[in-house]
A and B are shown apart, each in its own frame.
Chain A
Amino acid sequence: MKRRAVIGGIASCFALFALTPCPLHAQAARPRIMMILWRGETEVERGFRDQLERNGVDAEIIVRNLDRDMDRLPGFLDEARQTQPDLVYTWGTGITMGTVGPWNEVDPARNLTKLPVVYVMVSAPLRTGIQPPPFADTRPNVTGVSHIAPLASQIGAIQAYLPLERLGIVYNPEETNSTANVEELRVLSGSMGFTLLEAPVPKDADGKPDPAAIPGLVRKLAEQKAQVLYIGPDNFIGTYRDALTTAGIANGIPCFSATELEVRQGEAMFGLVSPYVAVGRLAAEKATRILVDRTPPSAIPMETLERFSYLIRLPVALRLKLYPPLQIIDFAEIIR
């Protein structure tokens, strides 16, 4: 019965997030948007640009790519202070945190405090402090869109597929978003009835997390009889996702992902995700309100999408002989 209830819940939140176009008055001056990205443009930016255009906002978009090197961020922020774009767009928890800081520890010397900032792909804005807690004042210059389904819904999605007893997670203990996520999983394991098997990635000689350790960690989790490997918001694991999923398949363990690309482009078997395009579209709505309506970012809520997609990567499911139940086939998006 529990599984059926979960399926029902997911089915009801299935369906893609769609935003209707709404034409706008032409702007006198062409607004400038500075995009600070982690690994170049993704589907999120495609959605963002497309929705801006639908909204009739003709903006000049200046792209700054960190190319996975966080050390480049201060330089870009200096540039923003000098060129004063109308809006700064930040991708992911790391960049956003570096750009605006936690709500209660803003450092004007390092963070942007005046320029409006719209973030995307921040998995846990509240837990990382990017979003102030409910009782505190809103941030004057920050708003944005989170892309992660509530963790309990994600676990529910796994339980709808198979009776979950042991969930394994390989994660980078150096990333705040990742550790926060693991902490929440620990709490949920009690209430949702599963055991969490943790495998933090050790550091290499340079003091950086060591990707070569991943296959060994997965093997160890397999020995502990993990049924599913959980891929949460973790930039390191995101970068080395193929190593993780390959090791998982080799050991007969499927990966579940909270983000889209791991299933769509990688070898994760299933996931409950926000489509990247939809995240970008919602961010564009917020940008439009700032640029066109002159709404202060403090008056625009930081939010996550209301609906998520259940993705299944069929070849992986067939290879692992973990066939999806008929009810999930009914509403899931199946990638063949």
Chain B
Amino acid sequence: MNGRFLPKAVIHSFAIAGLTLLVALGAISWQAFDTGNQLLFPELAKKASVEAEQVRNKINFALDLGIPPEGLRGTDDLFADLRQSDPDIAFIVMQDPGGKTIFAHGITPERIDGVLKATERPSPDRELETGQSLRAGYLVTAQPVEAGTFYLAHDEAALVRPLIDNLFDIGVVILVTLLLAFEVTLLVMTINFTQPARAAMNVLRTVASGRFDKVTGYPGSGALGNFITHLDNEVRKLARRAGTRLDPAREPTVIGVRLLAFLFVFAEELGRSFLPGYVGTYAAQIQQIDLDMAIGVVVGLHMIVVALAMPLASMLYPRFGRVRLYAFGALIASAGLVGTALAGSYWDLLFWRALSALGYATTFVACQGFVLETTNRDNRTQGTAMMVGGITLADICGPAFGGVFAERFGQSTTFLVASGVAVLAALLVSRLMARDISRPRVPQPITLRDFAVAFHNRHLVQQLFLAALPAKFLLTGFLFYLVPVSLLATGRSEGDIGRIIMIYGLVMLVSSPLLARLADRLGHFGLFVAGGGLLSAGLLLLYPLVPIVHLALFTAVAVAALGIGQAMSISPQVSMVVGMSSETNVQRGQAPELVVMRFVERLGGGLGPIIAASLAAVYGNMTAIMLLGLGVMACFAVYLLTLAIGGRTS
């Protein structure tokens, strides 16, 4: 964060407030976790006991029929069935009264005695059922049968998995709460304290230099308010005496864009972790298109509509102005999300997703316009950083929170909540996008001339199609489509998927500023871009070799690598493209090269899920991920080659 927007005192107060909140939330969460632990374990033990009893009854019935113990057949299928309904079951064993093993599944014969005769671990506060014991890392449930004893064992670690999952959920909620608290505190502090104080300082400076032409222009109450009112009154008196005209020193509140950007992206991101699965339930009902393709189209459609709708929204900007445009966009997005929640068929869903995208594009353009209008050349970067900050925050919170929420309250409900968030954004906009604007400016829609300028530059074309497009293509094809789809296919919950997608935003948040600074210091922008691309795609090549049980962990690592890779290349890439632009354009803040790059990136983003889905349809998820990685690596390899040939690595 920049010192100009956030003075030290504010950072300190944030730190104190955040720490207090963290401690309080942590304590409450720990209490909840501990209570859950005590309540849940006996339930799990009871469930294990019931499972064992059911098997015992089956075995006893078979023995009653006159089948000898060694004639019991189909115990392997029985074990498979048990595992299907409860994957935490580790093994089943039956032994005769002499301790001879009659059948054993899920455990090698050599290990049986080691486990069953291991010392029992005491469980002081955990109530176990009759016949149950904790030994060798298992919860063993023993049941007497007519010709011996039947044992059913659960992995002890697996039993606490629901608790660990809870812990993760709690963590996500804490994180989201902290970030939201930070957003709101920042907003309140800036509007009520930082900005009035800064305005007062400006006024005092002009007074000190002997001029009386500025007042703060803030109404106020409280100590700071009284002081400001008093100051303004005194200056007015002196100005009247000197006969000078008064200007307000108050500055436009660009900070509001942070929350607004956060809200509209958050609304969309809430569904991120489960959208493919959600679409899948609709796509399964139609025969015309392959299932994977049908899902990919919906996920990709959103980004394509965003890319195409942005120029349109820019054209509407002068007529409606940013406040109405934002409110309009947020309401459209809200309608789209309600439609997504209640869609009757796949084709309905397609329409509603497109409508959401239209709303998303419109709000995005309104925010961009707001930043353009409220900032000047000196502080535009900071204004943009405000907006990007809000978006990054939403990228982190949205998928994770949406996943947890969907797991507990259902996917449709989550979309309805997202729609509510969009409505909230529409309600807040008139308060957050201050009206006092001195420099009305309009975000320019992309024109054919922009393309002509951009495509005239060979280096830029290479940059666009060998680096910018593949990077976005990978991001959406892998992170937004293949990650949720492949994890869902291996039985992961929405919550798990959301947490894994969240890693991307977190890594970006932490590493972006560091890597951008590093790139600035070292130069070699081209190498940073290429290195980032290769890093983000490299791990994907290993996917076909990853065992299913480690898929989630590996994906988490791959997503983190993707985040670092993208963080490495984003800032140097903008610098490179700006470097390729003509000076005049950059000064106007409207480089066509940059505008075209954003457009190409969005199109690439739209194509990502669709192409990923077609690959998945033909080759399966794992191979599709590998091929995606291979394709992107090939692009960056060629990119690196063109840099080396052109001698442009730095």
Binding site for B on A (CB under 8 A): 3-4, 7, 314, 318, 321, 323-330, 334, 336
The contact of A329 among B58, B68, B80, by CB within 8 Å, is B58
Is B482 an interface position by the 8 A CB rule? no
Q: How far is the CA of A71 from the CA of B178 in the complex (A)?
A: 94
Contacting residues, chain A, for B62 (C-beta < 8 A)? 323, 326, 329
Known contacts A329-B58, A329-B61: A324-B66 contact under CB 8 Å:
no
Q: How far is the CA of A327 from the CA of B75 in the complex (A)?
A: 9
Q: Is the CB of B77 within 8 A of A4?
A: yes
Beta-carbon nearest neighbor of A324 in chain B: B73
Distance between Cα atoms of A216 and B59 in the complex (Å): 39
> Can you name 16 A-B residue pairings with CB atoms under 8 Å?
A3-B77, A4-B80, A7-B77, A323-B62, A323-B73, A325-B74, A325-B77, A326-B75, A326-B77, A327-B78, A327-B81, A328-B74, A329-B61, A329-B65, A330-B58, A334-B65
Pairwise interchain contact A326-B78, C-beta atoms closer than 8 A:
yes
Q: Are A326 and B80 interface neighbours, CB within 8 A?
A: no
- The answer to the question of B67 belonging to the interface, with a C-beta cut-off of 8 Å to chain A, is yes
Please name 13 further chain A to chain B contacts, defined as beta carbons within 8 Å, in addition to the given A4-B77, A324-B73, A334-B65, sorted by A numbering: A3-B77, A4-B81, A318-B66, A318-B67, A321-B71, A325-B73, A325-B74, A325-B77, A326-B73, A326-B74, A326-B78, A328-B74, A329-B61
Q: In the assembly, what is the distance between CA of A327 and CA of B66, in Å?
A: 16
Which chain B positions have C-beta within 8 A of A330?
58
Q: A3-B77, A4-B77, A7-B77 are in contact. Are A326 and B66 (CB under 8 A)?
A: no
Residues of the A chain whose Cβ atoms lie less than 8 Å from the Cβ of B71 = 321, 323
Assuming the A-B contacts A329-B61, A330-B58, are A323 and B67 also in contact, with contact meaning beta carbons closer than 8 angstroms in the complex?
yes
Instruction: Give chain A nearest CB distance to B14 CB in angstroms.
Output: 58
The answer for the CA separation of A314 and B63 in the assembled complex, in Å, is 12
Q: Does B72 contact A (CB under 8 A)?
A: yes
Residues of B within 8 A of A325 (CB): 73-74, 77
Interface string of B70-96 (1 = CB under 8 A from A): 011111011011000000000000000
Q: Which residues of B contact A3 (CB under 8 A)?
A: 77
Residues of A within 8 A of B72 (CB): 323, 326
Complex Cα gap A181–B67 (Å): 34
Q: How far is the CA of A323 from the CA of B70 in the complex (A)?
A: 10
Closest to B84 in A: A4
Chain A interface main SS type: helix
What CA separation (Å) do A334 and B65 show in the bound complex? 9
Contacts of B61 in A (CB 8 A): 329
B residues apposed to A, CB below 8 Å = 58-59, 61-62, 65-68, 71-75, 77-78, 80-81
Please report the C-alpha to C-alpha distance between residue A99 and residue B68 in the assembled complex, in whole angstroms: 52
Asked if A326 and B65 make an inter-chain contact with CB atoms under 8 angstroms apart, the answer reads no
Q: How far apart are the CA atoms of A327 and B84 in the complex, in Å?
A: 15
10 smallest CB-CB distances across A and B, nearest first, come from: A325-B74, A323-B71, A325-B73, A326-B74, A323-B67, A4-B77, A327-B74, A318-B66, A326-B78, A326-B58
Residues of chain B lying within 8 A (CB to CB) of residue A323: 62, 67-68, 71-73
Would you give the shortest CB distance from B136 to chain A, in whole angstroms? 27
> Nearest CB to that of A7 among chain B residues?
B77
List the B side residues contacting A336 at CB < 8 Å. 65
What residues of chain B lie closer than 8 Å to A321, measured between beta carbons? 71
Closest to B78 in A: A326
CA A248 to CA B71, docked complex, whole Å: 21
Name B58's closest neighbour in chain A (CB-CB): A326
Q: Which secondary structure characterizes the binding site on chain B?
A: helix
Q: How far is the CA of A3 from the CA of B72 in the complex (A)?
A: 16
The interface residues of chain A lying within 8 Å CB-to-CB of B65 are 314, 318, 329, 334, 336
Residue of B nearest to A1 (CB): B80
> Which residues of chain A are within 8 angstroms of B80 by Cβ–Cβ distance?
4
Shortest CB–CB separation between residue A314 and chain B, in angstroms? 6
Chain A residues with Cβ below 8 Å from B68 are 323
A328 nearest CB across to chain B (Å): 7
Q: Which of B58, B67, B78, B80 has the most CB of A within 10 A?
A: B67
Alpha-carbon distance between A237 and B337 when the two chains are bound, in angstroms: 68
| Residue of A with least CB distance to B68 | A323
Give A158 Cβ to nearest chain B Cβ, in Å: 14
Closest to A318 in B: B66
B59 in complex: contacting residue of A7, A326, A327, CB < 8 Å: A326
- Distance (Å) between the CB of A216 and the closest chain B CB? 31
Q: Which residues of B contact A314 (CB under 8 A)?
A: 65-66
- Write the nearest CB–CB distance from B155 to chain A, whole angstroms: 23
Which of B68, B71, B74, B75 counts the most chain A CB atoms within 10 A? B74
Q: Once the chains are docked, how many angstroms separate the CA of A323 from the CA of B66?
A: 9
Closest to B70 in A: A323
Enumerate chain A residues within 8 angstroms of B81, measured Cβ to Cβ. 4, 327
Chain A residue at smallest Cβ distance from B77 = A4
- Closest chain A residue, CB of each to CB of B61: A329
Shortest CB distance B495–A (Å): 30
Q: In the complex, how many angstroms separate the beta carbon of A123 from the nearest chain B beta carbon?
A: 30
Which of B62, B65, B71, B75 lies at the interface centre, i.e. has the most chain A CB atoms within 10 A of its CB? B65
A321 to B72 Cα, complex, angstroms: 11
Cα distance, A3 to B58, chains bound together (Å): 19
- Return B312 CB to nearest CB of chain A, in Å: 54
CA distance A324 to B78 in the complex (A): 13
User: Considering only CB atoms, which chain B residue lies closest to A315 in the complex?
Assistant: B66
A residues less than 8 Å from B73 (CB atoms):
323-326
Q: Complex formed: what's the CA distance from A336 to B74 in Å?
A: 21
Distance of A336 Cα from B67 Cα, bound (Å): 12
- CB nearest to B72 among chain A residues: A326
Q: Which residue of B lies closest to A162 (CB)?
A: B73
* Separation of A314 and B77 alpha carbons in the complex (Å): 21
B78 cross-chain contacts in A, Cβ below 8 A: 326-327
Is the beta-carbon distance between B77 and A327 smaller than 8 angstroms? yes
Q: Nearest chain A CB to B162's CB is how many angstroms away?
A: 28
Q: How far is the CA of A326 from the CA of B67 in the complex (A)?
A: 10
Cα distance, A143 to B63, chains bound together (Å): 46
Closest-CB distance, A135 to chain B (whole angstroms): 25
Looking at the assembled complex, report how far the CB atom of A155 sits from the nearest CB atom of chain B, in whole angstroms: 18
Cα A334 to Cα B68 in complex, Å, equals 17
A326 to B55: give the CA distance in the assembly, Å: 10
Minimum distance in angstroms from A11 CB to a CB of chain B: 11
CA A329 – CA B63 in complex, angstroms?
Answer: 11
Separation of A247 and B67 alpha carbons in the complex (Å): 24
B59 to chain A, nearest CB (A): 7
A140 to chain B minimum Cβ distance, whole angstroms, is 38
Q: How far is the CA of A3 from the CA of B78 in the complex (A)?
A: 12
B540: min CB distance to chain A, Å: 31
Which chain B residue has the least Cβ–Cβ distance from A330?
B58
Chain B nearest Cβ from A324, distance in angstroms: 7
B363 to chain A, nearest CB (A): 51
- Give the complex CA separation of A3 and B61 in angstroms: 21
> What is the bound-complex CA distance between A245 and B75, given in angstroms?
29
**A330–B77 CA distance with the chains assembled, in angstroms:** 13
Q: How far is the CA of A4 from the CA of B76 in the complex (A)?
A: 10
How far, in Å, is B65 (CB) from chain A's closest CB?
A: 6
Q: Which of A3, A324, A325, A326 has the most CB of B within 10 A?
A: A326
Please indicate the chain A residues that have their CB under 8 angstroms from the CB of B66 in the complex.
314, 318
Q: How far is the CB of A332 from chain B (nearest CB, A)?
A: 11
In the complex, A334→B77 CA distance in Å?
Answer: 20
Cβ contacts under 8 Å, B75 to chain A: 326
CB distance from B185 to the nearest CB of A (A): 57
CA distance A7 to B74 in the complex (A): 11
Q: Which residues of A contact B74 (CB under 8 A)?
A: 325-328
In this complex, the member of A3, A314, A327, A336 whose beta carbon has the largest number of chain B beta carbons within 10 angstroms is A327
Select the residue from A325, A328, A334 with max chain B CB neighbours within 10 A. A325
CA distance A325 to B71 in the complex (A): 9
Which residues of chain A have C-beta atoms less than 8 A from B77's C-beta? 3-4, 7, 325-327
Query: In the complex, what distance in Å separates the CA atom of A275 from the CA atom of B78?
Result: 28
Specify which chain A residues have a CB less than 8 angstroms from the CB of B58 in the assembled complex.
Answer: 326, 329-330
Q: How far is the CA of A336 from the CA of B75 in the complex (A)?
A: 22
A89 to B90, CA, bound (A): 58
Alpha-carbon separation in the docked complex, A330 to B65 (Å): 12
B56 to chain A, nearest CB (A): 12
